[in-house]
Amino acid sequence: MIRTGKLSDVPALDAIARRVADELHASGVDQWSAVYPGVKEFTSDAMKGALFVDEEDGLVAGSMSLLPENDPAYVAVSWHGSHALVMHRVMVDPIYRRQGIGAALFAFAIARARAAGADSLKVDTHPDNLRMRRLIERFGFVHRGHLPLIYREGYELPLK
């Protein structure tokens, strides 16, 4: 079940982010760190009503944030849409992998962006994060280019 995230979810999300970052680093992907994303980002997203949590049997299993585009790094490439929402900090606790949670988060974000009247949905990931890149591409996102300021690959799903 995906629901709006609450401040009370932040400790669990911070713990999941550490596990995900450790797993990424162990597989050679230099994405995220010992502190990012963390309490600061999850708290801010929750306070904006932009944090969404997947809950399985009463436990937080994954999350993402869905925010209006405002990242300066995104000006580095040409995009289809001009009124977009952006998925940030997409993660699934490693113990819940391969249960469709990542796909559910993407489907939720697409539906939410359409309902909000966005003309596209954007997401970025580290070039070496092949698992995330495959998930992004599975949902029909188009690679738009490299975002050098944050060393990420930018993807977009046109909605109109």
DSSP class per residue in 23-45 = HHHHTT---S-SSSS-HHHHHHH
In the chain, the percentage of residues whose pLDDT exceeds 90 is 94
131-146 pLDDT, tens per residue? 999 999 999 999 999 9
From the list 3, 5, 81, the residue with the least C-alpha distance to 37 is 5
- pTM as predicted: 0.95
What pLDDT score was predicted for residue 58? Answer: 95
35-88 pLDDT, tens per residue? 999 999 999 999 999 999 999 999 999 999 999 987 899 999 999 988 999 999
What pLDDT score was predicted for residue 110? Answer: 98
Task: Say yes or no to pLDDT of 156 above 90.
Answer: yes
6-26 pLDDT, tens per residue? 999 999 999 999 999 999 999
What pLDDT score was predicted for residue 82? Answer: 87
**Residue range 94-103: mean pLDDT, rounded:** 96
Residue whose structure tokens are 């609450």: 6
What pLDDT score was predicted for residue 71? Answer: 85
Instruction: List domains and CATH numbers for the chain.
Output: 2-158 (3.40.630.30)
Distance from C-alpha of 41 to C-alpha of 84, rounded to nearest angstrom: 20
